[in-house]
């Protein structure tokens, strides 16, 4: 049964029962007994999924390309990393996801050809509680296995994306290699395409595979997007949804060409290489070894994760290529993680029509290897995220009930800037397809309400597929933040049939995970704890205060802190199976900033020349906002500018100036003719625009007094503001280039004039 159909029927039951209650209001109705969500966690091979809430088949739109080549291979372009070996553990989901990340970094030129990221780090930290501080850690933890066995606990793309979106656990293979502490190895076997078994060595599972928590911040890369495309699977019929194959295939092709390798979960009869033995070297009726081609015609739960690195539309659907023949030609070129001795150098073909391909994941990322990261800081509270995938289904469940009652829903987080920064992007967790999200940014005076302050910026975005996204803010005016300043990110997420409320979901009790064998029989059961935390002033929801209440009058939708009792109660009344209860963590919204550069310190140098080209002296100045007096008799001058943490550009008459070039002093007759623009380093988001106020000191009248008293004949020059520059006054010329005496002035007097202060001109800060 499809997820959406199940939830829609439950919502219908809830509303019908609510209306039947005496005195109940459709807007203020307690959830009827029997309505809710079930949760059935099963591990098949290396994949853990909630089998009662598997993602539904969704129509992935055909992309706007003119067409796709018949064959395409990322290996030929250098955009795929080598085949790796996941033994001794079932961490295929991490290998598949990391392969997608590595490929994306290569395809975007953000990493060198030798990039090798750590699957061990991604696996280990996915099952570790975490936070920015040692207190109030949250996440998914395994409560009934030893430390090493978490590598065999299985995973999925929801957990992979939730973990790496925090930027935690993002390491290189060099920093956290896929081996135990001692590096001991053991021997095993893997089958090749000719059916022979190869001896291979891999690292000993009995070694210590734990990772120090201090390495959670290795910061080797940042996950930016993980777009999920649901497979063309009709679980009601147990076969491929033929109406969806073309759209899904085109959507995946588009992501391969745009972003690099795409990870996929499917059912493989051999979920690990050791499933093949010498007595039974080819147990699968769906995998043909001599062509390394796979096709399964009926739906089975996914048990393996791999990455797609290309395709071949001409791969014929016949018995020469496949053991079970698919209904059409075409196959993905797939990289496995069972060493390059398995299959054809570690690769195989997977038919477009395979009925077990449940979910695809296309990742984009950023690396500091080739320069600065796109973002320096990740403000977040959602360290659990969608690791507890029931949050995806509760989002839809709550949203559909609110939609049926015409109650709008919104979510928000308030953050506090640590230092001077610029807000550049926010995240979106889209738990359904075809999302429209309106993002609003506010400056708020405190943390009591996300809309208590002044709105700063609003933008709207649309997304076809579910997933995690980074939304770059397109504001023309930089959103600069001061240290200690509060700001909020408000999102209204709308799907075709409900509003979105992406909220972490913790569980009061540990949840059982049934480990299944190839025949679907439970081998053993272990337990995972889903822990969510929150605190007042962090996350807020709008409209949820009206749901699942037993009040006679319908409450008015308002903003509520997620720690408010009405919100906590709204989640706890949703049955999720047995006596377990759900409770809210934080809203899944992150904010990404870059550090504000220090304003560049600029030194302006200059030299003045008389009419015969003789130097009248030179001097440096650091206050470009002060008036600059050239010495008497100056007929020309030259300039230079130096900065310690950025660059400075001089323009004259609107044209770039080549430093050291002599300029006629007559250019100064045009106000604002000479300007200096500074740009900071390394981000270039702090600088200034200076309009220089320069003038030649006039000659003192013959026989006059060099003073400025009445009748002296030494009226000081006026600056552009009509303000006289007077010796010893508050606003005086710097005498920047005036190093000569003259007209009865002693050298000391001239230096005094040169050193005296200046009036402030025009300065406009430029921060981006």
Cα gap 537→384, rounded to integer Å: 19
Least confident of 267-271, 544-548, 552-556, 587-591: 552-556
Q: Are residues 495 and 518 in the same domain?
A: yes
Distances (CA, A) of 71 to 74, 76, 146, 315: 10, 11, 46, 9
Tokens of 351: 């038919």
Pick from 590, 703, 565, 484: which is nearest to 223 by CA? Answer: 590
Mean pLDDT, to the nearest integer, of 549-567?
A: 84
Tell me what the pLDDT averaged over the chain comes to. 85
β-pair partners for 264: 306, 360
The b-or-e profile of 723-750 (16+ CB within 10 A means b, else e) is eebbbeeebbbbbbbbbbeeeebeeeeb
Q: How many CB atoms lie within 10 A of CB 578?
A: 11
Q: Are residues 186 and 267 in the same domain?
A: yes
- Say if 416 falls within a structural domain: yes
Q: Do the bridges between strand 694-696 and strand 628-630 make them parallel or antiparallel, or are there none, so unpaired? A: parallel
Q: Are residues 201 and 332 in the same domain?
A: yes
Q: What is the pLDDT of residues 134-157, one digit of tens each?
A: 778 999 999 977 778 899 999 999
Mean pLDDT, to the nearest integer, of 728-756?
A: 34
Q: Are residues 220 and 264 in the same domain?
A: yes
Which of 577, 595, 613 is the last residue in one of the domains? 595
Q: Which domain does 725 fall in, by range?
A: 602-767
- Statement: residue 270 has pLDDT above 90: no
Give the rounded distance of the alpha carbon of 275 from its chain centre: 37
Pick from 665, 641, 634: which is nearest to 740 by CA? Answer: 634
Cα gap 5→296, rounded to integer Å: 25
469 close to 361: Cβ distance less than 8 angstroms: no
Cα gap 548→545, rounded to integer Å: 8
Q: Are residues 583 and 622 in the same domain?
A: no
Residue corresponding to tokens 């939609």: 403
Q: Are residues 296 and 416 in the same domain?
A: no
Give the rounded distance of the alpha carbon of 473 from its chain centre: 12
Distances (CA, A) of 192 to 40, 199, 401, 752: 36, 11, 53, 89
- Statement: residue 768 has pLDDT above 50: no
Pick from 674, 761, 659: which is nearest to 720 by CA? Answer: 761
Coil vs helix vs strand at 767: strand
Residue corresponding to tokens 């710097």: 734
Q: Do the bridges between strand 41-44 and strand 511-516 make them parallel or antiparallel, or are there none, so unpaired? A: parallel
Which of 595, 625, 640 is the last residue in one of the domains? 595
- Say if 337 falls within a structural domain: yes
- Statement: residue 730 has pLDDT above 50: no
**CATH number of residue 272's parent domain:** 3.90.70
Q: How many CB atoms lie within 10 A of CB 114?
A: 7
Compute φ and ψ for 18, nearest 5 degrees: -65, -40
Q: Are residues 400 and 474 in the same domain?
A: yes
Per-residue model confidence (pLDDT) at position 84: 98
**Largest pairwise CA distance in the chain:** 118
Distances (CA, A) of 673 to 608, 616, 669, 690, 695: 17, 22, 8, 11, 11
Residue corresponding to tokens 């440096």: 620
Cα gap 172→309, rounded to integer Å: 21
Tokens of 694: 């320069």
In this prediction, residue 19 has a pLDDT band, given cuts at 50, 70 and 90, of very low
Per-residue model confidence (pLDDT) at position 349: 98
β-pair partners for 604: 621, 641
586 close to 503: Cβ distance less than 8 angstroms: yes
Which of 330, 365, 400 is the last residue in one of the domains? 365
Q: What is the pLDDT of residues 560-594, one digit of tens each?
A: 999 999 899 889 888 787 788 999 999 999 999 99
- Say if 152 falls within a structural domain: no
Contacts of 495 (CB under 8 A, 6+ apart): 399, 432, 433, 434, 435, 436
- Say if 716 falls within a structural domain: yes
Least confident of 241-255, 368-382, 455-469, 548-562: 548-562
In this prediction, residue 30 has a pLDDT band, given cuts at 50, 70 and 90, of very low
Q: Are residues 60 and 30 in the same domain?
A: no
- Say if 45 falls within a structural domain: no
Contacts of 367 (CB under 8 A, 6+ apart): 105, 110, 111, 115, 220, 221, 222, 373
Per-residue model confidence (pLDDT) at position 282: 53
Q: What is the pLDDT of residues 642-682, one digit of tens each?
A: 998 999 999 999 999 999 999 999 999 899 999 999 999 99
Q: Do the bridges between strand 466-472 and strand 359-366 make them parallel or antiparallel, or are there none, so unpaired? A: unpaired
Q: Are residues 104 and 214 in the same domain?
A: yes
- Say if 569 falls within a structural domain: yes
Q: Are residues 473 and 544 in the same domain?
A: yes
- Say if 122 falls within a structural domain: no
Indicate the Cα dihedral angle 127, 132, 134, 140, nearest 10°. -20
Q: Are residues 195 and 270 in the same domain?
A: yes
Q: What is the pLDDT of residues 452-489, one digit of tens each?
A: 999 999 999 999 999 999 999 999 999 999 999 999 99
Number of domains in the chain: 3
Least confident of 101-105, 302-306, 316-320, 752-756: 752-756
- Statement: residue 739 has pLDDT above 80: no
Q: Are residues 250 and 294 in the same domain?
A: yes
- Say if 209 falls within a structural domain: yes
Cα gap 519→458, rounded to integer Å: 52
């Amino acid at each position: 049964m499809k997820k959406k159909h199940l939830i829609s029927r439950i919502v219908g039951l809830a509303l019908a029962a609510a209306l039947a209650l005496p005195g109940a209001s459709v807007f203020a109705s307690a959830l009827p007994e029997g309505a809710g969500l079930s949760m059935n966690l099963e591990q098949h091979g290396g994949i853990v999924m909630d089998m009662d809430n598997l993602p539904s088949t969704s129509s992935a739109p055909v992309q706007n390309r003119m067409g796709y080549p018949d064959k395409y291979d990322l290996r030929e372009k250098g955009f795929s990393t080598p085949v790796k070996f996941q033994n001794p553990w079932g961490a295929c989901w991490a290998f598949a996801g990391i392969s997608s990340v590595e490929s994306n970094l290569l395809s975007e030129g953000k990493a060198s050809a030798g990039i090798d990221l750590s699957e061990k780090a991604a696996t280990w930290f996915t099952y570790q509680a975490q936070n920015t501080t040692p207190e109030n850690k949250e996440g998914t933890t395994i409560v009934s296995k030893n430390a090493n066995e978490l590598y065999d606990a299985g995973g999925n793309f929801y957990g992979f994306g939730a973990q790496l979106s925090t930027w935690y656990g993002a390491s290189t293979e060099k920093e956290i290699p896929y081996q135990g502490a001692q590096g001991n190895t053991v021997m095993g076997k893997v089958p090749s395409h000719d059916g022979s078994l190869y001896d291979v060595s891999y690292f000993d599972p009995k070694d210590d595979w734990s990772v120090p928590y201090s390495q959670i911040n290795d910061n080797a890369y940042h996950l930016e997007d993980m777009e999920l495309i649901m497979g063309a699977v009709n679980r009601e019929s147990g076969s491929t949804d033929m109406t969806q194959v073309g759209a899904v295939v085109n959507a995946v092709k588009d992501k391969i060409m745009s972003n690099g390798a795409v990870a996929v979960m499917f059912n493989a009869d051999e979920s690990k290489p050791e499933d093949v033995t010498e007595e039974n070297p080819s147990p699968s009726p769906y995998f043909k070894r001599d062509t390394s081609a796979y096709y399964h015609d009926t739906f089975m739960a996914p048990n393996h994760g791999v990455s797609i690195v290309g395709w071949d539309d001409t791969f014929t659907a016949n018995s020469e290529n496949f053991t079970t023949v698919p209904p059409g030609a075409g196959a993905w070129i797939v990289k496995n993680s069972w060493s390059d001795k398995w299959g054809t150098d570690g690769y195989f073909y997977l038919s477009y029509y395979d009925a077990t391909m449940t979910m695809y994941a296309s990742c984009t990322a950023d690396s500091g290897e080739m320069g600065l990261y796109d973002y320096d800081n990740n403000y977040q509270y959602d360290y659990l995220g969608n690791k507890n995938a029931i949050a995806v289904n509760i989002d839809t469940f709550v949203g559909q009930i609110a939609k049926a009652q015409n109650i709008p829903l919104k979510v928000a987080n308030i953050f506090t800037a640590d230092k001077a920064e610029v807000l550049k992007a926010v995240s979106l967790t889209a738990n359904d397809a075809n999302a429209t999200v309106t993002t609003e940014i506010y400056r708020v005076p405190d943390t009591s309400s996300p809309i208590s302050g002044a709105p700063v910026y609003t933008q709207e975005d649309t997304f076809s597929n579910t997933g995690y996204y980074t939304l770059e803010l397109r504001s023309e005016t930089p959103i600069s933040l001061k240290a200690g300043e509060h700001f909020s990110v408000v999102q209204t997420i709308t799907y075709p049939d409900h509003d979105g409320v992406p909220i972490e979901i913790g569980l009061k009790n540990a949840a059982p995970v049934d480990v299944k064998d190839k025949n679907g029989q439970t081998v053993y059961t272990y337990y995972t704890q889903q822990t969510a935390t929150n605190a007042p002033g962090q996350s807020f929801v709008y409209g949820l205060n009206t749901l699942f209440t037993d009040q006679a009058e319908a409450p008015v939708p308002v903003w509520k802190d997620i720690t408010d009792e009405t919100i906590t109660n709204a989640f706890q009344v949703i049955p999720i199976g047995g006596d377990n209860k759900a409770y809210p963590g934080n809203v899944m919204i992150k904010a990404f900033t870059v550090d504000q550069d220090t304003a560049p310190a600029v030194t302006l140098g200059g030299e003045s020349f008389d009419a015969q080209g003789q130097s009248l002296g030179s001097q440096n100045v650091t206050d470009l906002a002060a008036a600059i007096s050239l010495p008497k008799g100056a007929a020309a001058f030259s300039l230079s500018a130096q900065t310690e943490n950025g660059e400075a550009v001089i323009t004259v008459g609107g044209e770039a100036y080549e430093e050291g070039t002599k300029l006629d002093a007559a250019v100064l007759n045009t106000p604002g003719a000479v300007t200096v623009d500074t740009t900071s380093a390394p981000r270039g988001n702090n600088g200034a625009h200076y309009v220089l106020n320069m003038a030649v000191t006039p000659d003192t009248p013959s026989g006059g007094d060099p003073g400025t008293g009445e009748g002296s004949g030494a009226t000081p020059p006026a600056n552009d503001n009509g303000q006289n520059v007077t010796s010893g006054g508050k606003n005086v010329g710097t005498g920047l280039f005036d190093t000569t005496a003259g007209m009865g002035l002693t050298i000391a007097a001239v230096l005094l004039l040169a050193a005296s202060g200046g009036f402030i001109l025009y300065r406009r800060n430029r921060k981006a």
